[in-house]
Structure 1
Amino acid sequence: MSTETSTTTVTRLLQRQILPIDRDTDVFPLYVDLEEAKLDTDRDAVGGDKAAKDLNNAAIRQSTSTGRKLHPDQIRSRTALRLEPSQLLSFGTYFNAFPASYWRRHTVVDQVELTVDVTGAGSMVTVYKSMARGHSQRVDAATVEGDSGSFSFTLPLKPFVDGGWYWYDVVAGDHGATVEGAEWTAQVPADRAEHGTVDVCITTMLPDMSAQLLGQLGAAEELQPYLDTVFVMDQGKDKVTDSTHFPTAREGLGDKLRVIVQGNLGGSGGYARGQLESVRKGTATYAMMMDDDVVCEPEGIIRAVTFGDLAKRPTIVGGHMFNLYSRSELHSFGEIVQPWRFWWQTRLDGYSQWNFGARNLRSSRWLHKRADVDFNGWFMCLIPRVVLEEVGLSLPIFIKWDDSEFGLRAKEAGYPTVSFPGAAVWHVPWTDKNDGLDWQSYFHHRNRIIAALLHSPYERGGRMVRESLNHQVKHLASLQYSTAELRHLAMEDVLRGPHALHGELATKLADINAFRKQYSDAQLHLDRDDLPPVRRKKPPKKGKSDIEIPGRLSTLIAAGLAPIRQLRPVREMATDYPETELTAMDAKWWNLVKYDSAVVSMNDGSSVALYKRDPAHYRDLLKRTVDIHRRFHREWPELARQYRDALGEITSPEAWEKTFAPWMRADDQPDDQPDDQAADPGEGA
């Protein structure tokens, strides 16, 4: 047999031009751009002076938008866009620019071909590229000579080692133009000609939002060949199959849809069930974790699969998260786990909550450097089945840190994660939640410690234990006793060892909720009038307001005095009446530490709680806090060894099968119909 077959290549579509499905004007800046490019200052020109850097960071956040709008009627189809006479617009946008540096770094593709189809005599197509520093360069151009033209441009990926994009601009002729479509293709090895398939794994307690998401997946005809199975792990009291939106979802997905009913095992338990079913079934190339409360851009799933198919090695391909309520705002372009603090964050040279409607891609220098990440959130994350088979399933930790820990575990095994531009969902923003103070604070703290024990490169977790102590004292001084108690409980549970995690997965949430309700700061009131009015014997010192943010010196002084102040007797009247009311945005520690009682509103704006200072409780918990942190510092190396030795066992399919046993069918076979077991009621999926 000739060896030529080993070098045979075929043409494969990498990305196509797309436009908003629902013609929502809020998302237009993510697809097409009518604004000019106004690139911000290069950081080397800014230099190392802190004041200059702070000023530049503020300038980078400034809007460059002039308010130019595309009329919805100009969108002719999913791929076609009409331009008015002489109108100029750019496809150098989040969904339509080509992220060349990601393809260059992670895939077998070394050259792409852009084909643009345009009607309208005299119209011009111009192709641009950018470098990692954000500078754009004109690459090529073509003009429609007759009524229409199809233009192809061969574009190498060689100069994109550190970053950069390709995109195209279009200028309409005197009688207007229509960009009928555009495709980015590449010659790929013949053994990569066929696309992979994906099991979408959705964990839910929100039946209507879940059913609507399923409807979005089922309505996208071009997506159907890529879908193997859509697993819905229904863990709520109200079932997704009872939603009025479910019949549409069932019709669209047909026999690809499988609803699995099980107890409330949290996000990690739901995703692990989907991972287990995908691995056991063994017919899909990938399993995609996807949140239930999202709006999906279906094309992003296709792009993630395509990128995964052509990656040099098995690669986790994550999507980005946009704000569901401010739909052109990106949560983060790439996240890392800072190893010394062991906390997730946007990469150091990036920005969070970035609004493309205010400052476009071509004007944002930082977006052109490739963002290398440690993990991707499981609001949308494609995991190759071979990775699940080698490194195991999710940790059994209910919620929080399951996605970041898995990304770190896969990275250590040689499987990178790519947060891939052009694949995204819209999700409720983290800023609208209160998960650092409510019942979720237990899981935040416990699971962060567990992840650090498993993956911290430092002998005693770096700054982890010291920062935990600082945060605990801050919550105590802020009268957040329920949060401080939950964090203490979290640390005690870590000390019980890794083999306790599976056994308490289905019961821990109920235990936590019952435990925290004894503290007034965890007792939420929908009606403010349920609580006493504000009264105090002395007015605020010098009439100072709580809306002012203190300077650095004032903050340091407040931090030093706050723990001591908590030992004083409670002021007269403060036990019966709150001394102040604080909105969620003003309920910062430097304000809370000044009061003996306060009515505080929650982040979601739906309720309030009464914070009350208790010196005896403070002394007791402060002593326990110091003791347990000393113990962690002393025992960290041995704890780390225990958790690392147990990791393979507790994330194995066999361990998870035992946990899922009460909700698995006797014959252990997939079924299109939901299991008839009742799910446990509770909060949080």
Structure 2
Amino acid sequence: MSQTVRRVLQRQIMPADRDLDVLPLYVDPDPAVLDADKYNVGGDKGAKELNKASLRQSVSSGTTVHPDQIVDRHAIRIEQGERLSFGSYFNAFPASYWRRWSIVDEVRLTVDLTGTGASVTVYRSMANGRSQRVDSRQVEGGDDASGSFEFVLPLRPFADGGWYWYDVTAGDQDAVVTATWDAEVPADRAESGSVTVAITTMNRPDFCAKLVGQLGEDPLVLSLLDEVLVMEQGTQKVVDSPEFPAAEKAVQGKLRIIEQGNLGGSGGYARGQLEAVKAAVSTYVLCMDDDVVCEPEGILRAVTFGDLARRPTIVGGHMFSLYSRSRLHSFGEIIQSWRWWWMSPEHVLPEWDFAARNLRSTRWLHRRVDVDFNGWFMCLIPRQVLEDVGLSLPLFIKWDDSEFGVRAKAAGYPTVTFPGAAVWHVPWTDKNDALDWQAYFHQRNRMIAALLHSPYPHGGRLIRESLNHTIAHLVSMQYSTVELRQLAMEDVLAGPDGLHAQLPTRLGEVNTLRKQYADAQLNPDPDAFPPVRRAKPSRRGHSELEVPSKRAQIITAGLLPLRQLRKPRPLSREFPEAEVAAMDAKWYRLARHDSAIVSMPDQTSAALYTRDPELFRDLVKRITDLHLKLYRRWPELAAEYRSKLPEITSPQAWEETFRPWTDVEAADD
């Protein structure tokens, strides 16, 4: 019989700063109110819509845990007679993920309780969210009695989903509770793998320095780190932040700042990946954005899960909103291959607020979510995977992380977005990066990823969808965005050979191109624009802001492009016809105007959109020609991109790209 050792998988944790906004992610004081089963709701459209709306309704009773009840990072005090559940995002045990992806077949929960009469009850859930009581124990004895209770829990009945958790009820006096989850593992899996952290930063010095400091807060996390690499690509340096001295001290000599030109996220992460591959020391590379707030325990859990995975596995974290800290952006991401677009799986509800409806009350959260990739805002990649499938594609930003996940999966390395490992980040829903300079990278990189991996002869629906989206931008008077999307397609058609060479220069060229257009000329001053004036007000009146039906949108899509050929109303050349808020700037609304002041999603500025029929005609012809050309050339382009993928993502290719900066480093040494 092979020798085994016991290894901690997960520790009970409390918020490091006692922040009440995040407390629902750690404990749940409310009773469970499970939502309806979809099979009971049935297939009626009205019933499904009503159920979907009810899912977003809060079931929180308003009961709160006082910050003073948090004893320390791992212990909490429960007041006399009160009950508290640890069936929460950070403290429930994601049994189905361990069951599916790891070598562990049973876990041991150890709960330490003080307080006469205090009791602990262990529960498990099924994939459909229904919970079952497993076992319970109680502290016996006189005043200030205590007990340590062990529960051996099998993982076998978690094939499709489900969690373990425990509730604690205080008895005749206040109770204090701590807990750990551990398992017997083979002796050769006893030691934790080590980590090189790769942080790409661009003009966020304070944010980045604080993140580095968080990595050193927990001695166990610090012990896993071989090196913390900060790829400095901005002009506002991390070393100049007032937060930097404390951050540098916290990681105890493990920090290295690497300065290079702005090569985007993919250039920054590739540099960290390359350094780790060349050093051949770390087990993993942990990619992290520079503007996240980290839960350090999540790093420990990700590394432990990676160490005990059945095969080398990419372990990703979830992303919570930095502005609404109990709100989860997404519980997992897949690539819809026919559209070649990233999305959440069908049953996953995005923007989920755990403060309104926590884990025990939310049926869909109990089904295991299998993913195609994880964003590099927090993603643990085994060095073995990098050595086998290559480094990041040189895409600057967008699709580098998703393409890597798809590429790794094709080579037999899965990605697991692991519950209990997370960061807080500015949510993507507060941006509209399909309109600014990033539109170029969205379009180009999506098409490149599809050429590399789409199973369909012409990319499935991608080309048709691209044409539809481009026309939508065109009728919205977003001419700069259309020009960038065209430039992106021209670069795709040029083949993969120029990707590395374009990294340092393409952003500047993109910005120069887009600033030629009025819709890209932003101004924060409302008085910078002429006053709104229209000779004949719209007959739509109060219904102007209503969301049209799908049928109405289809009719509008057929008619509005024809309107773009008509001569604009004379007054619209001098005065904007409307002010349109960013939230209302949909194509079917903008296309009805000949000019409009449109605010930006961050609400700091606005731009003047003006309809130009001649430019419209010219752009329609060009975008049609480009999409036809891409359709015809798709098979040969796909073959070229796929044949050159190993070369483009190789450490050797990236070393050449980094040479202008590595040569300077060598000269300085």
Indicate yes or no: 2:325 matched with 1:330. Answer: no
Residue 217 of structure 1: how far off its partner (Å): 1.1
State how far apart, in whole Å, the 1-side matches of 2:541 and 2:79 are.
59
Distance 2:37 2:124 in 1: 18
- What corresponds to 2:618 in structure 1? 620
Is the counterpart of residue 188 in structure 1 residue 188 in structure 2? no
The answer to whether structure 1 residue 345 and structure 2 residue 343 are counterparts is yes
The 1-side partners of 2:541 and 2:371 are apart by 47
Q: CA deviation at 1:668?
A: 5.7
Asked if the contact 1:325–1:428 (Cα under 8 Å) also holds between the matched residues in 2, the reply is yes
Normalising by structure 2, report the TM-score. Answer: 0.98
Q: State whether structure 2 residue 548 is matched by structure 1 residue 550.
A: yes
Match in the other structure for 1:593 = 591
For 2:340 and 2:549, the matched residues in 1 are separated by 27
When normalised by structure 1's length, the TM-score is: 0.96
**In structure 2, what is the equivalent of residue 119 of structure 1?**
114
1:188/1:542 CA distance change after superposition, 3 Å: closer
Q: Distance in 2 between matches of 1:542 and 1:245?
A: 54
CA distance in 1, matches of 2:82, 2:66: 12
8 Å contact kept, 1:537–1:572: no
Return the offset for 1:542.
4.3
Task: Describe how 1:613-652 pairs up with structure 2 within 5 A.
Answer: 613-652=611-650
Q: Deviations over 1:247-293 (max 9, x none)?
A: 01111112210100000000000000000001001111000110000
Q: Which has the larger displacement, 29-38 or 535-544? A: 535-544
TM-superposed CA distance for 1:36, in Å, is: 1.1
Match of residue 204 from structure 1: 201
1:394 to 379, 392, 400: 392
1:672 counterpart residue number: none
Specify the alignment match of 1:565 in structure 2: 563
Contact 2:231 2:258 in 1 (8 A): yes
Deviation at 1:348, TM superposition (A): 1.1
**Contact 2:18–2:70 (CA under 8 A) maintained in structure 1:** yes
Contact 1:275/1:388 (<8 A) preserved: yes
Q: Distance in 2 between matches of 1:386 and 1:401?
A: 22
Match of 1:419 among 414, 417, 437: 417
What residue number does 1:156 align with? 154
Extract unaligned runs of 5+ from structure 1.
Answer: 670-674, 677-685
1:89 and 2:84 matched: yes
Corresponding position of 2:275: 277
| In the alignment, structure 1 residue 459 sits paired with structure 2 residue 461 | no
CA contact 1:287–1:382 (8 Å) conserved in 2 = yes
Please show how residues 13-52 of structure 1 align to structure 2 within 5 Å. 13-52=8-47
Establish whether residue 60 from structure 1 lines up as the match of residue 58 from structure 2. Answer: no
Q: Distance in 1 between matches of 2:602 and 2:82?
A: 43
1:529 alignment counterpart: 527
Identify the residue that residue 217 of structure 1 maps to in structure 2. 215
Distance 1:617 1:322 in 2: 42
Which residue identity is paired with 1:469? Answer: L
User: How many residues matched?
Assistant: 665
Measured in 1, the distance between the counterparts of 2:266 and 2:232 equals 13
> CA–CA distance in 1 between the matches of 2:55 and 2:550?
24
For residues 297 and 542 of structure 1, the distance between their equivalents in structure 2, rounded to whole angstroms, comes to: 50
Q: Which deviations, in whole Å up to 9, do the C-alpha atoms of 1:528-582 show, x marking residues without a partner?
A: 1111110111111142443211122321221111110100001111011100001
Task: Give the distance between the partners of 1:667 and 1:402, measured in 2 at CA.
Answer: 26
Whether the 8 Å contact between 1:323 and 1:331 is mirrored in structure 2 is: yes
| 1:583 and 2:581 aligned | yes
Distance 1:230 1:118 in 2: 38
Q: 1:42 to 1:502 in 2, by over 3 A?
A: same
| Residue in structure 1 matched with residue 64 of structure 2 by the alignment | 69
d(CA) in 1 for partners of 2:313 and 2:46?
A: 40
Match of 2:600 in 1: 602
Amino acid at match of 1:284: S
Specify the alignment match of 2:509 in structure 1: 511
Structure 1 position 433, deviation (Å): 1.4
Matched AA of 1:656: W
2:140 maps to what in 1? 145
| Paired amino acid for 2:107 | V
Shift of 1:456: 0.5
For residues 307 and 372 of structure 2, the distance between their equivalents in structure 1, rounded to whole angstroms, comes to: 20
Post-superposition Cα deviations, 1:119-151, rounded to whole Å, max 9, x if no partner, equal 000011000000101100000000000210000
What does residue 435 of structure 2 align with?
Answer: 437
585-594 or 653-662: which moved more? 585-594
Name the CA distance, whole Å, in 2 between partners of 1:84 and 1:18: 18
* Alignment correspondent of 1:680: none
Q: Do the aligned partners of residues 138 and 202 (structure 1) sit closer, same or farther apart at CA in structure 2, a change above 3 Å counting?
A: same
Q: Report the equivalent of 1:683.
A: none
What is residue 104 of structure 1 aligned with on the other side?
99
In 1, Cα distance between the equivalents of 2:632 and 2:539? 44
SS at match of 1:92: coil
Q: Within 1, Cα distance between the matches of 2:42 and 2:496?
A: 47
Equivalent position SS for 1:511:
helix
Once the 2 structures are TM-superposed, how far is the Cα of residue 665 of structure 1 from its aligned partner?
4.4
- Render the CA deviation track for 1:73-119: whole Å, top value 9, x for unaligned: 00010001001111101000000000000000001100000000010
Structure 1 runs (4+) deviating above 3 angstroms are 665-669
Tell me the amino acid that sits aligned with residue 163 of structure 2.
W
Counterpart Cα distance in 2 of 1:549 and 1:341 = 25
Which residue does the alignment assign to 1:682?
none
User: Which amino acid is 1:212 matched to?
Assistant: K
Q: How do residues 355-434 of structure 1 correspond to structure 2 at under 5 angstroms?
A: 355-434=353-432
Is the Cα–Cα contact under 8 Å of residues 546 and 586 in structure 1 kept in the other structure?
no
Distance 2:545 2:358 in 1: 32
State how far apart, in whole Å, the 2-side matches of 1:541 and 1:114 are. 67
Q: Which residue of 1 aligns with 2:5?
A: 10
Contact 1:316 1:383 in 2 (8 A): yes
Secondary structure at the residue paired with 1:149? strand
Of structures 1 and 2, the one scoring higher in RCO (CA 8 A, sep 6+) is: 1
Amino acid at match of 1:595: H
- Name the Cα RMSD after superposition: 1.1
The residue identity in structure 1 corresponding to 2:114 is T
Question: 2:306 maps to which residue?
Answer: 308
Q: Tell me the distance in 1 between the aligned counterparts of 2:542 and 2:324.
A: 34
Q: Distance in 2 between matches of 1:42 and 1:668?
A: 63
When residues 424 and 513 of structure 1 are mapped into structure 2, their CA distance, relative to the original with a 3 A threshold, is same
Deviation for aligned residue 1:362:
0.5
1:449 aligned residue: 447
CA contact (8 A) 2:195 2:283 kept: yes
What CA distance in whole angstroms lies between the structure 2 residues aligned with 1:668 and 1:322?
A: 40
Secondary structure of 1:169's partner?
strand
SS of residue matched to 1:514: helix
Any conservation in 1 of the 2:217–2:296 contact (CA below 8 Å)?
no
The one-character-per-residue Cα deviations of 1:211-265 (angstroms, maximum 9, x if unpaired) are 1111111222221111111000000011111111100111111221010000000
Letter in 2 for 1:567: L
2:236 aligned counterpart, secondary structure: coil
* Residues 473 and 482, structure 2, Cα contact 8 Å, conserved in 1: yes
Q: CA deviation at 1:380?
A: 0.2
| CA offsets 1:160-205 (integer angstroms, 9 cap, x no match) | 00000000000001212111x1000000000000000111100001
The alpha-carbon deviation at position 46 of structure 1 amounts to 1.6
Aligned-partner Cα distance in 2 for 1:524–1:219: 41
